[in-house]
Structure 1
């Protein structure tokens, strides 16, 4: 019976029968429902989709990350076997650009074990079409890796993981939930406050109506990855919109056809995301024994890696495309583009010195 219902109808039915659900449960159903979730449907990328990611803007983005990975691989004494894992690889564009550059380094291709984490069948097919020559394998979890160091790339992955929201009221913190009001989905609060000891000490004096977002799913993913990297060596690179230290305020948003949309409307048809608390991810990483670099903006990171020089080289090689190359560079690093909104996080084995960050 449930298969004949739309995702919207299934969510409303679940609320009527089981009561209001957490924001995390709602996000999880909207994005990853086994058959009707947003990431189970058609390709959401590009001009005909809902959003465009950095790799789709310019090849320079992936090429510079390819250089970054080779530099780390060399610092690790060019291991004969290593895993390169991408989380949420989209169409495979980023990884194709990465490997086009990285595999020019003698020995890199020979040791490469390419792994991808993806749930969208349509995107998996595109990834295979672009990356088949590298013999990719798709992972279902982060618990089993081949021997050797592990290098992880996650571009716009952590922002899509379900978050929980809590609101401070006079009698304590209450979890924000999704319920029904006059037959329509609406936000409300759990009537039962959570123990004060469960909240960060820094929020002990938070004002009434303060909202806190917590990404337990992101912390769990980072915990598992950091454990593997701590044991086998390597690094985790995450690029996303977010902030350096835990803070309050709502960032949950919906996007449909490149326009902001109500997060409670059209479940399964709207991209839902929230800003990433990189400070929390850094704490998890350090707890596992990794070092975490100071957070950089995407503009800073790509500039330090040489995007200006790469753009000049592309323009010289293709004079007719010089204006497009410059426009792409501005979009990737400019203040009015992705340059400051997007941040770059790196946690790694002690002793490595990843390029693009200031010590």
Structure 2
């Protein structure tokens, strides 16, 4: 969930169910009478309509992918009808933790150094570090991380390459300008483009795929993914009852079926068989009331929902295998009307990260995932649109509205552990606990002390700076119902060590970890 700059009361969760049992799309007309040409809110909406008219309703994941990263007017990647300016910050659509306080990125940097030290790399720096960020946004988080880790020369001198996994060319350009300078050239490489960090001279490589990043035993990967998983496309499935087979016909000379039934011993009535069906995106026909478009209506007057979710009339290839891949959905399948959300892209990234850490000759490295979502339950009704710091209808203004869904941390954990036997997963823990254990309160106290000792600033200037810093960090750890401290969570993937060592921020202690060392089994 992108944090809204000025959260409305109750807007951090859907006010009423997004999905409810509906009829299938069988017989749904996708052709609009040619009285006059229909007007669409964006060029992408029109193209989506054309595509669906030709192929039929599409999975929600397809709709989300087109709206977020499609070439034709995608929110992050397109340029047709795109709004000018920045998606991030107070003037954009949402604001993220690194934009709120520099202390957030500093705590992430300290965590990376702490985990590196805990694995014994300080005394045996035999591997060069790959610093990888997935979905880097403006580049603010990486800038804060780099500023922090360079206070630890042993770690900083071990950095081989910084990799930024970014699908948006526009965002990659912004990141390059921040980290390398506007005048710094971009050099084409086999996997993307590269430049040189303006402060520390490390090589920074931009690529649109994590699989393109070299993976060998000579490097140690440290991966950060902040508010990345919530933007990945989801599939939605609903459990439905399936028709029972018709009673057998009577053969000549047989007793009537009713007499045969009375002769059989009575058995308990068996529950009706069920199966998973997929919720698909279809256009809303003019003059009709849309179904399953979400609790948040468009904030733009005169812009009704242009698309809606309908239930597939038969199983799709996704509904036949995705919900069956995990035992977590088994009991829900037995209850008609149950709805679940599944994100295959999240499983892919979790698996890819886990293999990089755990599948070498020596498991090494770590990953830190920070996002919002469910800790142990299956997400439902979590799709939301975000525009200008408000929750809006996700099925209008396609390409101009950010789309987001809760992260299923249990599914991410499952995918990581299934992908590699060489890793273990810690968390999720709430963001407030993680940041406080990392020392954010103490770091803020240091900043306040520095401001107070600044002889060049007036008393009112000092008071204003202190107030801003204090409000910012408290916002990150606020455990209230709409606070970031409780809604956002942190999850760590580290090399498997039989649970002998928890990473710092997740119950581990850096000093004890250093004393024990990565190979000490006592």
Q: 1:7 to 1:126 in 2, by over 3 A?
A: same
Cα offsets for 1:266-321 (capped at 9, x unmatched): 11000001110111111111121211012110000000001110111111111411
Per mean C-alpha deviation after superposition, the further-off stretch among 207-216 and 50-59 is 207-216
Q: Distance in 2 between the 1:270 and 1:130 partners?
A: 25
Q: Distance in 2 between the 1:108 and 1:204 partners?
A: 46
- 1:290-309 mapped onto 2 (5 Å cutoff): 290-309=423-442
Offset of residue 335 of structure 1: 1.5
- 1:247-326 mapped onto 2 (5 Å cutoff): 247-287=378-418, 288-289=420-421, 290-319=423-452, 320=462, 321-326=465-470
Q: 1:257 to 1:247 in 2, by over 3 A?
A: same
Q: Out of 124, 136, 145, which is 2:214 matched to?
A: 145
Q: Distance in 2 between the 1:324 and 1:315 partners?
A: 10
Q: Which runs of 5+ in 2 are unaligned?
A: 1-41, 79-84, 181-196, 243-274, 287-305, 453-461, 509-522
What residue is the counterpart of 2:503 in the other structure? 354
Q: Distance in 1 between the 2:369 and 2:88 partners?
A: 19
Per mean C-alpha deviation after superposition, the further-off stretch among 243-252 and 16-25 is 243-252
Cα offsets for 1:203-258 (capped at 9, x unmatched): 44433322100000110111112111113421111000011224252111110110
Conserved? CA contact 1:294–1:358, under 8 Å: no
Per mean C-alpha deviation after superposition, the further-off stretch among 246-255 and 291-300 is 246-255
Q: Out of 92, 96, 101, which is 1:49 matched to?
A: 92
Offset of residue 140 of structure 1: 2.7
What residue is the counterpart of 1:7 in the other structure? 44
Asked if residue 27 in structure 1 is aligned to residue 64 in structure 2, the reply is yes
Conserved? CA contact 2:476–2:484, under 8 Å: yes
Per mean C-alpha deviation after superposition, the further-off stretch among 340-349 and 39-48 is 39-48
Conserved? CA contact 1:177–1:190, under 8 Å: yes
Q: Distance in 1 between the 2:359 and 2:379 partners?
A: 34
Conserved? CA contact 1:43–1:123, under 8 Å: no
Off by >3 Å, runs of 4+ in structure 1 = 193-197, 199-205
- 1:236-251 mapped onto 2 (5 Å cutoff): 236-251=367-382
Q: Distance in 2 between the 1:92 and 1:294 partners?
A: 26
Conserved? CA contact 1:83–1:145, under 8 Å: no
TM-score normalised over the length of structure 2: 0.65
What residue is the counterpart of 2:484 in the other structure? 338
**Local SS of the residue matching 1:47:** coil
Q: Distance in 1 between the 2:443 and 2:351 partners?
A: 35
Conserved? CA contact 2:379–2:406, under 8 Å: no
Asked if residue 198 in structure 1 is aligned to residue 318 in structure 2, the reply is no
Paired residues, what number?
A: 355
What residue is the counterpart of 2:337 in the other structure? 209
Q: Distance in 2 between the 1:50 and 1:139 partners?
A: 25
Offset of residue 123 of structure 1: 1.8
- 1:121-136 mapped onto 2 (5 Å cutoff): 121-132=169-180, 133=197, 134-136=202-204
Q: 1:248 to 1:52 in 2, by over 3 A?
A: closer
Offset of residue 19 of structure 1: 0.3
Q: Out of 279, 282, 292, which is 1:176 matched to?
A: 279
Q: 1:195 to 1:140 in 2, by over 3 A?
A: closer
- 1:81-120 mapped onto 2 (5 Å cutoff): 81-112=128-159, 113-120=161-168
**Local SS of the residue matching 2:172:** helix
What residue is the counterpart of 1:154 in the other structure? 225
Q: Out of 46, 57, 63, which is 2:106 matched to?
A: 63
Per mean C-alpha deviation after superposition, the further-off stretch among 224-233 and 256-265 is 224-233
Conserved? CA contact 1:22–1:178, under 8 Å: yes
Q: Distance in 2 between the 1:145 and 1:74 partners?
A: 23
What residue is the counterpart of 2:349 in the other structure? 221
**Local SS of the residue matching 1:165:** strand
**Local SS of the residue matching 1:136:** strand
What residue is the counterpart of 1:234 in the other structure? 365
Write 1 or 2 for the structure with the bigger share of helix. Answer: 1
Q: Distance in 1 between the 2:396 and 2:284 partners?
A: 14
